[in-house]
């Protein structure tokens, strides 16, 4: 675990204030108010951390303890004061459940994880103004200070008397979160990866933040597309975000697919080899159209994946998409090239070395398979999306979906 001095460097980085160290403590001063952590206490906390395990970026556990980062999924949360904890004890089974501000040892653990990942800037954008700390804040503990400035460090904790496996502890944690949702109408989910926690702040690096810099709109946009876009932005969970962005693409499927059928038919009937007086030519034309559309009851259906491919080809520029993804997170383009979507089997997409036809073909397969996995999540299906469990994989697709949706909206706008 990180040294006392190194932890001071991390605090200095995320709080952007000078950290002083002596033989006994680390301390900071804010408007002449001192906050500190004693070295002995810090070593006590790091000893706890050294005795525990982690198998992802936000989970801390041993055979008697489980603590994981969480996020509330709607606007109505239980009314808790600063540092207040929901604590429920199951005395008959020797289990204690706690939810709200993270433990002191977890604070050290998660700050170190964020620092190692180079995500301090994303974290800094989540902080409260430090000056608010001075008013009516009685604690002089440095970790309480950090907790107040970054109030979203909320965790779910389970402590047990008996030895338990990680899987069992995870089930207990989720059982308590269900209990909260059932009684408070408040959904809290476990966050297994830092991207799930910090992703909302990544886009602020590449978009304007100042109201003074934003100009009046110069283009008119299709209202229905804007509604889906706003739904995606307001959604906390990646599943609803993905589907909302997909609806923007889906909006043009029928129109673009019909245009494609017209082109195919026009090409066929204007061919010098075609004769309307030859039965085999007419049959060939019928088969050609039948491949494109299929009867279903009194209506007709078309190939949605092909329609998606045509939509992407018409409205999205691959080079522009790659540039936006790189600006947002330079790990995403290599990720799409090297990884399928784990839960859906969505295809790998090479946005650098592929031809446009190949890139759009694989991109449409990746998106469409993932969409189907979300919409048709039936028990027994191989490509089944499990909410929250598969969020860590779906979250990597959201930036891709957003930039595609934005391109479609803009390409279908008109100058005011």
Ranges of beta strands (E only) in 245-332 are 293-296, 299-302
Range of 95-109, 193-207, 251-265, 284-298 with top mean pLDDT: 95-109
Point out the least confidently predicted range of 36-40, 86-90, 343-347.
86-90
- SS3 at position 3: coil
Domain limits, the chain: 51-201, 211-253+303-415, 255-301
pLDDT of residue 302: 62
Using only the alpha carbons of the chain, give its radius of gyration.
27
Residues in the chain: 416
pLDDT of residue 380: 52
pLDDT of residue 73: 61
C-alpha 207/C-alpha 401 separation (Å) is 17
- Nearest Cα to Cα of residue 284 among 264, 311, 301: 264
Point out the least confidently predicted range of 214-223, 247-256, 261-270, 311-320.
261-270
209 contact partners, CB below 8 Å, separation of at least 6: none
| Structure-token match 């039965």, residue found | 279
Sheet with 33-38, strands from edge to edge, namely: 20-21, 25-30, 33-38
C-alpha 95/C-alpha 86 separation (Å) is 14
pLDDT of 93-150, one tens digit each? 999 999 988 999 999 999 999 988 888 888 888 887 766 656 667 888 999 989 888 8
Q: Could you tell me the two tokens for 267?
A: 């090409």
Q: Could you tell me the two tokens for 347?
A: 């295809």
C-alpha 79/C-alpha 368 separation (Å) is 41
H-run or E-run covering 182: helix 166-184
- Nearest Cα to Cα of residue 86 among 164, 167, 183, 193: 183
Average pLDDT over residues 201-212: 57
Percentage of the chain beyond pLDDT 70 is: 83
- Nearest Cα to Cα of residue 129 among 11, 207, 30: 30
- SS3 at position 53: strand
Task: Provide long-range contacts, Cβ within 8 A and 24+ apart, for 41-50.
Answer: 42/4, 42/7, 42/108, 43/4, 45/104, 45/105, 45/108, 46/1, 46/2, 46/105, 46/108, 48/105, 49/1, 49/105, 49/108, 49/109, 50/1
pLDDT of residue 189: 79
pLDDT of residue 332: 94
Tell me 204's DSSP state.
Answer: G
């Amino acid at each position: 675990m990180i040294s006392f001095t190194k932890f001071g460097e991390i605090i200095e980085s995320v709080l952007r204030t000078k950290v002083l160290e002596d033989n006994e403590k680390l301390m900071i001063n804010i408007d002449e108010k001192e906050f500190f952590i004693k070295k002995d206490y810090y070593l006590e906390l790091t000893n706890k951390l050294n005795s525990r395990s982690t198998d992802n970026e936000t989970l801390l556990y041993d055979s008697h303890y489980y603590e994981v980062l969480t996020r509330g999924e709607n606007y109505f949360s239980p009314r808790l004061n600063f540092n207040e904890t929901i604590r429920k004890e199951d005395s008959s089974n020797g289990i204690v459940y706690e939810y709200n501000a993270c433990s002191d040892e977890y604070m050290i653990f998660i700050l170190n994880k964020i620092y190692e990942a180079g995500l301090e800037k994303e974290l800094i954008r989540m902080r409260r103004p430090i000056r608010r700390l001075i008013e009516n804040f009685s604690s002089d503990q440095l970790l309480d200070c950090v907790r107040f400035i970054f109030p979203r460090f909320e965790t779910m904790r389970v402590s047990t008397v008996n030895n338990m496996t990680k899987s069992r502890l995870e089930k207990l944690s989720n059982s308590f979160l269900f209990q909260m949702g059932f009684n408070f109408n408040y959904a809290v989910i476990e966050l297994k990866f830092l991207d799930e926690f910090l992703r909302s702040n990544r886009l602020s690096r590449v978009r304007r933040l100042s109201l003074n810099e934003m100009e009046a709109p110069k283009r008119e946009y299709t209202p229905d597309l804007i509604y889906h876009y706003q739904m995606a932005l307001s959604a906390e969970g990646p599943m609803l975000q993905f589907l909302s962005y997909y609806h923007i693409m889906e909006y043009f499927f029928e129109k673009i697919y019909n245009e494609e059928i017209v082109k195919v038919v026009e090409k066929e009937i204007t061919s010098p080899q075609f004769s309307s007086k030859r039965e085999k030519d007419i049959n060939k034309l019928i088969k050609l159209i039948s491949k494109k559309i299929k009867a279903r009851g009194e209506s007709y259906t078309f190939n949605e994946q092909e329609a998606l491919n045509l939509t992407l080809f018409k409205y999205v520029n691959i080079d522009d998409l790659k540039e936006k993804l790189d600006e947002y997170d330079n790990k995403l383009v290599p990720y799409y090239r090297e990884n399928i979507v784990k839960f859906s089997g969505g295809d790998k997409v090479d946005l650098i070395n592929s031809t446009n036809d190949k890139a759009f073909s694989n991109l449409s397969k990746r998106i469409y398979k993932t969409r189907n996995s979300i919409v048709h999540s039936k028990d027994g299906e191989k490509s089944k999306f499990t909410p929250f469990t598969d969020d860590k994989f779906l979250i990597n697709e959201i930036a891709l979906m957003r930039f595609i949706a934005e391109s479609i909206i803009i390409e279908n706008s008109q100058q005011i």
